[in-house]
Amino acid sequence: MALTPNEVNQLCDRVLAAQRGAYAIPKLTDDFPAMTVDDGYAVQAALRRRLCAEGRRQAGWKIGLTSKAKMQQMGVSVPSIGFLMEDTARADGSTISTQDLVHPRVECEIAFFTKAELRGPDCTAEQVLAATDYVVPAIEIIDSRFSGFKFDLPSVIADNGSSARFVPGSTRHTVDALDLRAIHVSLEKNGEPVVAGVSDAVLGNPAIAIAMLVNLLAVQGESLPAESFVMSGAITEAIPVKAGDSIRAKFDGMGSVNIQFDAA
Ligand code: OOG
Ligand code: MG
């Protein structure tokens, strides 16, 4: 670790202010070039403690940068995890405000809801599948707080993996009813197809990404509690959106998720 506890708190304040004020800031490593991935997780943990101390509740976790398309888009080569708060969930079919976001992007993911605790450091995809109650198609709205959506790994981890909003789809599926490696997804913006992919883009199988998340949590001395909602990472690159856009994410055999964006 390169940051002092004081600096960790200072960066937590900086990120939280940018999240709440919906403004972009320079990536944190511009001021703290020696900052490490562990420092990023220390800032993220401070952020989570701060929100929980305000009485907000955590819904689960997310892992990101798990597909080649995303790693190439963001110039980062290692997956990262972040937390999801209940008050950032939005319903399928809802209208989402862009006014409290900086430069939002949307991405298609498979989300898992767990029925048993999962614990690293040796969690496997098989254990994940056994502990999964159901999976749903989902949209994640990411919104880096960094100027130009440009960052490095320590900075994006401190910014909670660009987490902004998440939209679980309404159709639940048990894992034995699906081949999680072969879900074709396509994203339409304002009725036009913009990007498509197959779920094996996420580390070969999104269940492997969840196992990796559990193992990364273990490094922080934590387990994944039962009844966690977990996003397994974008299948394709993320697509920028603005007020007035409508988005439909279609997951073959799983259903679709629809949202619109509004200035109000
Ligand atoms: C980091 C978050 C990546 C995913 O699913 O890959 C992510 C970013 O690209 O801003 O959520
Ligand atoms: Mg994501």
pLDDT in tens, 208-217: 999 999 999 9
Q: Are 163 and 142 in contact (CB under 8 A)?
A: yes
What are the C-alpha distances in Å from 167 to residues 88, 94, 201?
Answer: 9, 9, 21
CA 243 from chain centre, in angstroms, equals 21
Distance CA 188, CA 100 (A): 23
Centroid of ligand 2 to alpha carbon of 109 (angstroms) = 7
Distance CA 137, CA 212 (A): 20
DSSP letter assigned to residue 147: G
- Which tokens hold the place of 28? 């944190």
- Computed over its alpha carbons, how large is the radius of gyration of the chain? 17
SS3 for 231?
strand
Low-confidence ranges of the chain (pLDDT < 70): 264
Distance CA 47, CA 216 (A): 18
Centroid of ligand 1 to alpha carbon of 255 (angstroms) = 22
Centroid of ligand 2 to alpha carbon of 227 (angstroms) = 20
What is the tens place of the pLDDT at every residue in 52-98? 999 999 999 999 999 999 999 999 999 999 999 999 999 999 999 99
Q: What pTM did the predictor assign?
A: 0.97
Residue nearest to atom 7 of ligand 1 (CA): 64
Residue 257, strand partner residues: 249
Half-sphere exposure for 263 (CA within 13 Å, toward CB): 2
pLDDT for the residue 263: 81
Residue nearest to atom 1 of ligand 1 (CA): 161
Question: Under CATH, which number does the domain 5-261 receive?
Answer: 3.90.850.10
SS3 for 221?
coil
Residues within 5 A (CB) of ion ligand 2: 64, 140, 234
- Which tokens hold the place of 170? 């309404």
Distance CA 84, CA 76 (A): 21
Amino acid at 64: G
Amino acid at 143: D
Q: Are 199 and 75 in contact (CB under 8 A)?
A: no
Distance CA 256, CA 238 (A): 17
